[in-house]
Copies of this chain bind each other. A is one copy, B any other.
Amino acid sequence: MTTKPYHHGNLRDSLLDAADALLAQDGAQALTLREVAKAAGVSHAAPYHHFASREQLLAAVAARAFAALATAMAAADGDRARDQGVRLMDICEVYVEFARARPAQFRLMFGPMLAQKAHYPDLKQAAESAFHVLVVAATAFDAARGPELALTGWSLAHGLANLAIDEAFTDLPIAVPAPAVLARAMAARMLGLQGGVDQ
């Protein structure tokens, strides 16, 4: 039998992984440092040697999630052969689907807990690198209106993503298409292309 070593060896990453897993189950609200520590197989105070506080741990988790989002958005933008407008629609769809696939992570990224991102430089930079993908794609579509399109597209995708995972669209007195469809339709309208959902 292999006796457990005193030193974990890779505790920092293990804690982040454990927190990620627990997050998906119960949401950030119910995430406990002690549970994270237990899941990683260490004592409840061990995390403090890698993170100054519970918030810092969560900020690190959120930073990793932002990196994943940026990667997914960049992948959607990756196929340079396609039409530029389609690529922007793809980015919006990926954004919304990311939120729907990882609602707890998405809420953590933008939620009130880490609202003052200025306190977490790494987190802020990770968030900006994701936005940067959108700015570049929007500028490629229309150099003059690029920044405005990026802001509008971000707002659109962000609002849709939030409302979708909050289930604000369920039991509404009007017919609502699937989020992914909505994302493409809204993006198309924003770009001045045809392709509205109702035609």
Contact = CB atoms under 8 A, between A and B. Distances in A.
Contact of A198 (B107, B148, B158, B160): B148
Nearest to A186: B152
Main secondary structure of the interface of A (DSSP, over half): helix
A141 interface: no
A169 B182 CA distance: 25
B148 A154 contact: no
A186 B190 CA distance: 9
Interface residues of A, number: 56
Interface in A154-192: 154-163, 165-169, 171-176, 182, 185-186, 189-190
A140 interface: no
Nearest to A170: B118
A112 interface: yes
Interface string A69-107: 000000000000000000000000000000000011001
Nearest to A113: B29
B174 A150 contact: yes
Contacts of A172: 128, 131
Contacts of A171: 128
Given A29-B112, A110-B166, A148 B197 contact: yes
Contact of A159 (B131, B135, B158, B168): B158
Contacts of A182: 151, 155
Given A117-B166, A147-B174, A112 B155 contact: no
